[in-house]
Chain A
């Protein structure tokens, strides 16, 4: 079952150990106004275990959001996937750090990590440090990180079809965050979360 966590102000430290055949799934949500320091330590400690960690953050003020994830692959045949997406506006500062460590004997590992960010203002700052530390050869590992802005061509496309700039931006930001929120299994819960993100994004676009 997917664990959905609304992160609160302050520190959040979690150590997760995933046993053979088990699957851990977690979604971290950071809404505007929340400054937090998240530390996750995930250990795939049984053969064939799996971990999926997702995160979405939206910052519009003076938030400081720090996320650090260590993903340890100790044994063969384990899979992990991480997807973190966020929007930084105002004078917020986002720090992302994510490391995938694949031990010597952890053959047949598949580990992926992505971190994508959108900067809305010049006052906001995003630093990201995705890292791979790999000691086994039969692996498929990758990470990707981007920091960019809202695509102006997309905005033009929508505006030329009668959608206001504000609505266009809201649509862009929602669809940017959506791949994270999609992973909430329970439909009612998902709709609730999407609605919450939508209203905070709408505030940001104003």
Chain B
């Protein structure tokens, strides 16, 4: 009797194993749904990078002299810098002279009042309505298409409260003292290779300023789209939250499917003054390349915020599902006493994707707090690394950090890695880090299967539960998209 039960159980487990195998094999075939190309007339500048190109970009944007000087200074520094090699990534040689650094949809002689219908369709297709009347309640959008900001919605409603939300080039022209005061104050031009490159050639992005004591009444959002072939996107975002203000900012990105690799090197700087709060959320869905690893975006991004005043708060939430290669470490400098920061991340890699992502928390002020929750999911033949630094400086009395980094492996050809760096030079500061790596437990799968939930669905359920702690931190509009994205990214990758 017992023997036959055993045989039966064995058979069952074999059945499940072969089924899993089957699902695992037909993994990855889900098409990238944002892979279309928009056919708009575009103007390009010549390929390559030199001081003339930078002067040309600056002239096209009608920038003041100081901005051009800033770019040239960055370029001169960049030329002396080597490409960083320390990440756990296999980056092919990038020919920086083979990239077009500026591409913009052609405009009629005078700036048109209406958005080009083709462009509008593009953003509609992506689910980003640009017309205010159709807009999602309470979200103001800045849409960036290749190198220029196409439109920013809800500006007048925001202006009433004194909030500035506009494209970066406009900010340089119209709010130049603010931009000058804060630009490169968190990420200096020579910070790293890609930040220097961005400082030299950045084309557009968003600028946000929230005045003292103002609570931004709606979510602000930027949407980045790479469209033109052979180009790179180098956007720059600067967010300043003055004393006692609050803002929630979201960022989304997509690109067409192409066999070539395209470079995206952005810089985001956030300044949080006394008692202010900034919530920054990203859903990154750049084209990840095909199943064989052809094409896809190289996403090399520098994001850093500073909690400048006491009691300030900065929270990062990111869902990373796209890009062929991701190199990204949103960081916080906790300078003000009693300031706090959080980093919540879900990074999914599938097929041949590579990700090296994490955060840095630099504790300078007293009683500063930080919390890191990172969930990595790797499937296919991908490599997914968490890399993070927690540093307690001698003055960070009673500072506290907790980090939790979990990795989930789906299939036996992928890799998951954890590289935390923990440094403490203050006896009253406490740092805790823990990390685990495992696959989806068979017990959990069995439990679901037993209750009539198929293996694939069960994995979806388990992964979503696994990432819940992070997803629940996203603004509502993004949470839904992120959950769907997780499912799509992992479609069929179940084992």
Residue A9, interface by CB 8 Å: no
Residue in A124, A131, A141 whose beta carbon sits within 8 Å of that of B427 in the complex: A124
Residues on A with beta carbons closer than 8 Å to the beta carbon of B414: 135, 137
Closest residue of chain A to B424 (Cβ to Cβ) is A147
Residues on B with beta carbons closer than 8 Å to the beta carbon of A22: none
Residue A120, interface by CB 8 Å: yes
Residues on A with beta carbons closer than 8 Å to the beta carbon of B427: 119-122, 124, 149
Residues on B with beta carbons closer than 8 Å to the beta carbon of A129: 419-422
In the complex, the answer to whether B412 meets A104 with C-beta atoms within 8 Å is yes
Q: Measured between C-beta atoms, what is the minimum distance from B349 to chain A in Å?
A: 13
Closest residue of chain B to A140 (Cβ to Cβ) is B438
In the complex, the answer to whether A149 meets B428 with C-beta atoms within 8 Å is yes
Q: Measured between C-beta atoms, what is the minimum distance from B171 to chain A in Å?
A: 40
Residues on B with beta carbons closer than 8 Å to the beta carbon of A121: 427
Q: Measured between C-beta atoms, what is the minimum distance from B371 to chain A in Å?
A: 15
- In Å, the complex CA distance between A45 and B413 comes to 21
Within 8 A of A (CB), among B407-437: 407, 409-437
Task: Annotate A143-186 by CB proximity to B: 1 below 8 A, 0 otherwise.
Answer: 11111110000000000000000000000000000000000000
Residue in A122, A130, A139, A147 whose beta carbon sits within 8 Å of that of B438 in the complex: A139
Task: Annotate A107-150 by CB proximity to B: 1 below 8 A, 0 otherwise.
Answer: 10000000001011110111111111111111111111111110
Q: Measured between C-beta atoms, what is the minimum distance from A104 to chain B in Å?
A: 7
Residue in B407, B420, B423, B439 whose beta carbon sits within 8 Å of that of A131 in the complex: B420
Residue B495, interface by CB 8 Å: yes
In the complex, the answer to whether B423 meets A127 with C-beta atoms within 8 Å is yes
Closest residue of chain A to B383 (Cβ to Cβ) is A135
Residue B190, interface by CB 8 Å: no
B side interface size, CB within 8 A = 36
Within 8 A of A (CB), among B358-395: 392, 394
Closest residue of chain B to A145 (Cβ to Cβ) is B433
In the complex, the answer to whether B411 meets A142 with C-beta atoms within 8 Å is no
Closest residue of chain B to A107 (Cβ to Cβ) is B412
In the complex, the answer to whether B411 meets A137 with C-beta atoms within 8 Å is yes
Contacts A141-B436, A141-B437, A141-B438 given; indicate if A148 touches B412 (C-beta within 8 A).
no
- In Å, the complex CA distance between A135 and B414 comes to 6
- In Å, the complex CA distance between A132 and B435 comes to 9
Residues on B with beta carbons closer than 8 Å to the beta carbon of A146: 430-433
Closest residue of chain A to B394 (Cβ to Cβ) is A122
In the complex, the answer to whether A133 meets B435 with C-beta atoms within 8 Å is no
Residues on B with beta carbons closer than 8 Å to the beta carbon of A144: 432-435
Residue in B409, B424, B434, B436 whose beta carbon sits within 8 Å of that of A119 in the complex: B424
Closest residue of chain B to A133 (Cβ to Cβ) is B417
- In Å, the complex CA distance between A121 and B428 comes to 9
- In Å, the complex CA distance between A143 and B422 comes to 13
Residues on B with beta carbons closer than 8 Å to the beta carbon of A141: 436-438
Residues on B with beta carbons closer than 8 Å to the beta carbon of A140: 436-438
In the complex, the answer to whether B421 meets A127 with C-beta atoms within 8 Å is yes
Residues on A with beta carbons closer than 8 Å to the beta carbon of B436: 140-142
Residues on A with beta carbons closer than 8 Å to the beta carbon of B412: 104, 107, 136-138
Residue in A122, A127, A139, A145 whose beta carbon sits within 8 Å of that of B409 in the complex: A139
For B410, B418, B423, B426, which residue has the most chain A Cβ atoms within 10 angstroms? B418
Residues on A with beta carbons closer than 8 Å to the beta carbon of B419: 129, 131
Residues on B with beta carbons closer than 8 Å to the beta carbon of A127: 421-424
Residues on A with beta carbons closer than 8 Å to the beta carbon of B438: 139-141
In the complex, the answer to whether B415 meets A125 with C-beta atoms within 8 Å is no
Closest residue of chain A to B426 (Cβ to Cβ) is A122
Q: Measured between C-beta atoms, what is the minimum distance from A146 to chain B in Å?
A: 5
In the complex, the answer to whether B431 meets A147 with C-beta atoms within 8 Å is yes
In the complex, the answer to whether B435 meets A148 with C-beta atoms within 8 Å is no
- In Å, the complex CA distance between A139 and B410 comes to 11
Task: Annotate A64-106 by CB proximity to B: 1 below 8 A, 0 otherwise.
Answer: 0000000000000000000000000000000000000000100
- In Å, the complex CA distance between A146 and B424 comes to 10
For A117, A124, A135, which residue has the most chain B Cβ atoms within 10 angstroms? A135
- In Å, the complex CA distance between A124 and B426 comes to 8
Contacts A119-B426, A126-B424 given; indicate if A142 touches B435 (C-beta within 8 A).
yes
For B407, B413, B416, which residue has the most chain A Cβ atoms within 10 angstroms? B416
Closest residue of chain B to A142 (Cβ to Cβ) is B436
Q: Measured between C-beta atoms, what is the minimum distance from B442 to chain A in Å?
A: 9
Residues on B with beta carbons closer than 8 Å to the beta carbon of A148: 430-432
Write the residues of chain A forming the contact surface with B, with a CB cutoff of 8 angstroms.
104, 107, 117, 119-122, 124-149
A-B interface, 10 closest residue pairs, ranked by CB to CB distance from nearest: A137-B409, A147-B424, A119-B427, A132-B418, A144-B434, A142-B436, A148-B430, A141-B437, A125-B425, A135-B415
13 A-B pairs with C-beta separation under 8 A: A122-B394, A129-B422, A130-B418, A130-B435, A131-B419, A137-B410, A140-B438, A141-B436, A144-B433, A145-B420, A147-B422, A148-B432, A149-B428
Q: Can you name 5 extra interface pairs (CB under 8 A) apart from A119-B424, A127-B421, A140-B438? A: A104-B413, A125-B423, A130-B420, A139-B409, A143-B433
